[in-house]
Amino acid sequence: MKYDIDSLTAAVNATTGIELTYLDPLLDKTTSLLAEEHEAVCIFVNDICDATVLEQLHKHGVKYVALRCAGYNNVDLAAAAKLGIKVTRVPSYAPEAVAEFAVGMIMTVVRKYHKSFLRVREGNFLLDGLLGFNLSGKTVGLVGTGKIGLITGRILSKGFHCNVVAFDPYPSPEAAEHGIKYVDTLEELLRQSDIVSLHCPLTPQTTYIIDDNTVAQMKKGVILINTSRGGLIDSYALIRGLKSGHIGAVGLDVYEREAGYFFADSSAKIIHDDVFVRLLSFYNVFMR
């Protein structure tokens, strides 16, 4: 992507002894050969770096895997350690930027800015269907309170006067000063929250943390926001929740099978993922 090239080129120009090769294909078992004669690969969220790919990279002489993101669920760390391949990641992935974006997505979904913009462009100034609600006094549930979750909570509690609750197996000692109160279980958070925002990593324990069971535990008309990882949500359960009206609106910056579509222009192509297309068809789903 152009912004990657611009950023990395600027960084390399300020350094010596590093040569970069920019490649368009995503990393997987069919493209790992492209890393031959390179000591390191630099990958992003949708690259596949499982045990098979790591074995291939090792044969090609790769010694380092550097991730341009905070999450590392796409890398088999045990296999990397066995092969002696060092793995690095971004320890703090612009937490203010992501938190502000998450709050912006909440505001977009609640106030329907995207629909208002399109209407005005067409000369339609009717207010029908654009009614939102005040965030002040509403309960927002944060699933995960890492750096991004904490900042999101601070903006909502101190800026919008929301009642912010959170669930995290590893509570942060900084939560209280950000105006965040912990609850004991995920179910308790879901039952209380008018808005649920996901800020946890994708692990075997959090995969499909939002499924039919957890959707049923939410308030009717809940707003669900995900700016973390697509695999946190079972897309089929999400569609069922939207069709039934139990989920009032959704804001998504990620999708569980996004690799073939995100960061690419598919405007002149057929999208073959029927689940993705179904989500895009809902009037109350905002995807970006």
> What's the whole-number mean pLDDT along residues 57-72?
92
pLDDT bucket at 224, cuts 50 / 70 / 90: very high
pLDDT confidence bin for 235, thresholds 50/70/90: very high
In terms of Cβ atoms closer than 10 Å to its own Cβ (0-12, 13-18, 19+), residue 33 is exposed
Average pLDDT over residues 235-243: 98
pLDDT tens digits, residue range 125-142?
988 988 999 999 999 999
Largest CA distance in the chain: 63
pLDDT for residue 13:
73
Tell me the average pLDDT across 214-221: 98
Residue 16 is predicted with a pLDDT of 67
Sheet holding 222-226, edge to edge: 180-182, 163-167, 139-143, 195-198, 222-226, 247-252, 285-287
Average pLDDT over residues 107-127: 93
pLDDT score recorded for residue 70 = 81
- pLDDT tens-digit series, residues 11-53: 777 676 788 899 988 899 999 999 999 999 999 888 999 999 9
pLDDT greater at residue 10 or residue 30: 30
Instruction: Tell me the residue ranges of DSSP E strands in 72-169.
Output: 86-88, 139-143, 163-167
**Which residues neighbour 47 within 8 Å (Cβ) at sequence distance 6 or greater?**
26, 27, 28, 74
Closest of 193, 109, 114, 107 to residue 155, by C-alpha: 107
Question: Cα angle at 41 between 39 and 45, to 5 degrees?
Answer: 165
For the chain, the average pLDDT equals 92
**d(Cα 4, Cα 1) in Å, to the nearest integer?**
5
Distance CA 274, CA 288 (A): 18
pLDDT-derived band at 208 (thresholds 50, 70, 90) equals very high
pLDDT band per the 50, 70, 90 thresholds, residue 273 = confident
pLDDT at 12: 75
When pLDDT is averaged across residues 107-111 and rounded to a whole number, the result is 96
Active-site annotation, residues: 229, 258
pLDDT of residue 1: 65
**Which contiguous run of DSSP H or E holds residue 285?**
strand 285-287
Per-residue pLDDT averaged across 96-121, rounded? 95
Express each pLDDT in 175-206 by its tens digit. Answer: 999 999 999 999 999 999 999 999 999 999 99
Rounded to an integer, the average pLDDT of 211-237 is: 97
**pLDDT for residue 18:** 83
